[in-house]
Amino acid sequence: MAEELLPETPETVSDQAADAADEEPIKQRKNGLYPGVSDELAENMKSGWADTELHGLEPIPQAAHTADRRAALSRRFPGERLVIPAGNLKTRSNDTEYAFRPSTEYAYLTGDHTQDGVLVLEPEKDGGHRATVYLLPRSNRENGEFWLDGQGELWVGRRHSLTEAEQLLGIPAKDVRELPAHLAGATGPVRVVRGHDAGVEKALTDKVTAERDEELRVYLSEARLVKDAFEIGELQRACDSTARGFEDVVRVLDKAEATSERYIEGTFFLRARVEGNDIGYGSICAAGPHATTLHWVRNDGPVRSGDLLLLDAGVETTTLYTADVTRTLPVNGRYSDLQRKIYDAVYEAQEAGIAAVKPGAGYRDFHDASQRVLAEKLVEWGLVEGPVERVLELGLQRRWTLHGTGHMLGMDVHDCAAARTETYVEGTLEPGMCLTVEPGLYFQADDMTVPEEYRGIGVRIEDDILVTEDGNRNLSAALPRRSDEVEAWMAALKG
Ligand code: GLY
Ligand code: MN
Ligand code: MN
């Protein structure tokens, strides 16, 4: 990677405000900091560039949906100014940044993914709100920002002009460098989504309270509990892409055996980057006993014939919806008798869990249904003393089931995490909710309470289940789940 001619740290909104106030060209302002830039070159770089403004752009597909979401937000907080930042770049080292992903709240309400963007809903006198998205406009060529600033378009690529952004998002756009002054002059109640943009929060320090801001965050989490038609389509696309990523992995298992779990991680990542935005969370590529470590993301272990591979991975679409799917596969294409016994038990538990996903059911019902099956199996195998009711009451099965049986899924893998207990964990399932059903059994390699042959076996099966009007739909059904079907699928892929 080329080093920037004139490295700059990324600007925050407050820095940008300072820049905007200072009309002097960058080169003069940073007097002496830019050796090697002659006046002639600086002058030369100002002109000779074609007008590349794009005209007649169509709105992005989700624009109508984001308008509905903003209207619902407006109804919830009448008369209040609402500020929802996208967030800023995070430095990896020096002038190198981590890949940017906008805050879920900002992307949900705008469909935009631009760093430093801020959505502001201003209350209107006669009710409702006027939305404005504050963005960094095209780079200025006159003052040198275009090529002398680390975030200039010459370095990081063309941005949309504010007019283009308005057309794409269906939201009036203004220069983000005007925002601090605007917020400073604002009167009346304000709320901001915290944790994304320190500059914006600083500009609002005296106007907001943590408690009121939390109510905004909670609302935006709960608003996402029920997905709209666009979101359901995107979750399906995420699952379809993810299924192709799993197929990619099966096709290269011999290469993973020759190298490590990293080959699996890299193979899935390729699919995620080519078809989507990214992976939705760190892929868990856990072979052999690593499958018993719930969040095994180091992925640096061996992949051996005769072992199981637990692959928990999800493609995040370009619109930022992620799948979250797990399959536990026999590396050599065939489960051993004991692996099959444990796998089939988890499958049975998942079937019971999926059957409990329907409108009107309690959110906890699918977890309880899966846990009951797993407890029954553990008692049947003599690993824990029955009766099953006693095991469930005391939670004794949890030594081997370890985690909850699922969670809401959407733009965040653990979606709607700020929702209140009464609307989520103690709530009722409704059509449009999407959740994972992911029971597992995990026998740690050092668990002396189980027979030796169980030790080091971990199995999880995870699917993404949409609550429909009359039951549910498995969005990740393209991937087989039954042990014999998994084997047949693997055999077909390996040729
Ligand atoms: N991949 C994380 C989870 O299954 O929740
Ligand atoms: Mn998962
Ligand atoms: Mn999950």
Instruction: Tell whether 138 and 36 lie within a shared domain.
Output: yes
| Ligand 2 centroid – CA 244 distance (Å) | 16
Is the domain of 218 the same as that of 233? no
Lowest mean pLDDT among 27-36, 423-432, 456-465: 27-36
pLDDT at 55 over 50: yes
Non-local CB neighbours of 447 within 8 Å, separated by 6+ positions:
399, 454, 455
Query: pTM surpassing 0.85?
Result: yes
Q: Are 338 and 377 in contact (CB under 8 A)?
A: no
At 439, which CATH number? Answer: 3.90.230.10
Please compute the mean of the pLDDT values over residues 410-434 and round it to a whole number. 98
Residue 35: the pLDDT is 63
Least confident piece of the model among 9-13, 40-44, 73-77, 91-95 = 9-13
Q: Is residue 407 part of a domain?
A: yes
Confidence band, pLDDT 50/70/90 cuts, at residue 186 = confident
The residue nearest atom 3 of ligand 1, judged by CA position, is 324
Q: 461: which residues sit within 8 A by CB, 6+ positions away? A: 326, 327, 328, 343, 346, 347, 350, 438, 439, 440, 481
What is the Å distance from ligand 3's center to 332 Cα?
Answer: 26
Cα–Cα distance measured from residue 493 to residue 406, given in angstroms and rounded to the nearest whole number: 29
Q: Are residues 123 and 264 in the same domain?
A: no
Please indicate whether residue 275, judged by its CB atom, sits closer than 6 Å to ligand 1.
no
438 lines ligand 1 (CB under 6 A): yes
| pLDDT tens digit sequence for 59-69 | 999 999 999 99
With 90 as the cut, is the pLDDT of residue 1 above it? Answer: no
What's the rounded Cα separation, in Å, for the pair 349 and 356?
11
Residue-level pLDDT at 14: 39
pLDDT value, residue 34 = 61
Residue 19 carries which side chain, given as an amino acid letter? D
In a domain, 4, yes or no: no
Asked whether residue 206 falls in the same domain as residue 172, the answer is yes
**Is residue 120 exposed (0-12), middle (13-18) or buried (19+ Cβ within 10 Å)?**
buried
Kindly state if the Cβ of 464 falls inside 6 Å of ligand 1: no
Query: Would you say the CB of residue 112 lies under 6 angstroms from ligand 1?
Result: no
Q: How far is the CA of 331 from the centre of ligand 2 (A)?
A: 19
pLDDT score of 27: 46
Q: Name the residue with higher pLDDT: 177 or 39.
A: 177
C-alpha distances (whole Å) from 426 to each of 200, 345, 388, 422 are 35, 27, 24, 5
Task: Give yes or no: residues 120 and 261 share one domain.
Answer: no
Instruction: Decide whether any atom of ligand 1 lies within 6 Å of the 463 Cβ.
Output: no
**Calpha distance 265→298 (Å, rounded):** 10
Q: How deeply is 377 buried, as exposed, middle or buried, from its count of CB atoms within 10 A (0-12, 13-18, 19+)? A: buried
Where residue 360 falls (left for φ over 0; alpha for ψ -120 to 50; beta otherwise) is left
Tell me the one-letter amino acid at 148. L
Range of the structural domain that residue 482 is part of: 229-494
312 C-beta closer than 6 A to ligand 1: yes
What is the pLDDT averaged over residues 404-432? Answer: 98
Instruction: Look up tokens 């003393």; give the residue.
Output: 385
215 plus 269 within the same structural domain: no
Mean pLDDT throughout 44-71? 96
Q: Ligand 1 centre from 484 Cα, in Å?
A: 25
CATH of residue 17's domain is: 3.40.350.10
Question: What DSSP line would sit under 108-135, residue for residue?
Answer: HHH----TT-EEEEEEPTTSSEEEEEEE
Q: Are residues 266 and 196 in the same domain?
A: no
Percent of the chain with pLDDT over 70: 93
Instruction: Tell me if 97 CB under 6 Å of ligand 1.
Output: no
What separation in Å is there between the alpha carbon of 436 and the centre of ligand 1? 9
pLDDT at 19: 46
Which of 197, 222, 247 is a domain's end point? 222
pLDDT at 25 over 60: no
**Does any ligand 1 atom lie closer than 6 A to the CB of residue 324?**
yes
- Give 48's Cβ-side CA count (13 Å radius): 6
Asked if the structure places residue 170 within a domain, the reply is: yes
| C-beta of 281 in contact with ligand 1 (< 6 A) | yes
Does the residue 1 lie in any domain? no
Residue 217 shares a structural domain with residue 233: no
**What is the C-alpha separation between 340 and 486, in angstroms, rounded?**
11
| pLDDT higher than threshold 70 for residue 18 | no
Q: Give the pLDDT mean for 67-79.
A: 98
- Check if 404 has its Cβ closer than 6 Å to any atom of ligand 1: no
Q: Is the pLDDT of residue 273 over 90?
A: yes
What rounded mean pLDDT belongs to the chain?
Answer: 93
> Is residue 6 assigned to a domain?
no
Q: Which residues, in sequence order, are bridge partners of residue 173?
A: 133
Last residue of a domain, one of 179, 203, 222: 222
Q: How many separate domains does the chain show?
A: 2
Q: Do 245 and 214 reside in the same domain of the chain?
A: no
What is the CA(146)–ligand 2 centre distance, in A? Answer: 42
Residues 156 and 283 in one domain: no
Same domain, 102 and 123: yes
Query: What is the mean pLDDT of the segment spanning 104-123?
Result: 98
Which pLDDT score, from 0 to 100, does residue 12 have?
A: 40
Cα gap 31→45, rounded to integer Å: 18
What is the per-residue pLDDT for 150? 85
Q: How far is it, in rounded angstroms, from Cα 149 to Cα 298?
A: 36
Asked if residue 190 belongs to a domain, the reply is yes
Q: What is the pLDDT of residues 230-265, one digit of tens each?
A: 999 999 999 999 999 999 999 999 999 999 999 999
Distance from the CA of 476 to the center of ligand 1, in angstroms? Answer: 14
Residues 97-110: pLDDT tens digits?
A: 999 999 999 999 99
Please write the tens of the pLDDT for every residue from 455-481.
999 999 999 999 999 999 999 999 999
Looking at residue 151, what is its pLDDT?
87
Give yes or no: residues 240 and 218 share one domain. Answer: no
CA 218 to CA 124: how far, in whole Å? 23
DSSP assignment string, 239-268: HHHHHHHHHHHHHTHHHHHHS-HHHHHHHH
Tokens, residue 1: 């990677």
Q: Average pLDDT of 431-454?
A: 98
Q: How far apart are CA 228 and CA 174, in angstroms?
A: 28
**Mutate which of 434, 436, 461, 476 for ligand 1 pocket (most atoms within 8 A of beta carbon):** 436
| Residue with CA at minimum distance from ligand 1 atom 4 | 324
| C-beta separation of 141 from 1 below 8 A | no
Of 222, 244, 271, the residue at which a domain comes to its end is 222
pLDDT at 224 over 70: yes
- Could you tell me if residue 294 is inside a domain? yes
* 327 Cβ neighbours under 8 A, 6+ residues apart: 246, 310, 311, 461, 462, 479, 481, 486
**Has residue 8 been placed in a domain?**
no
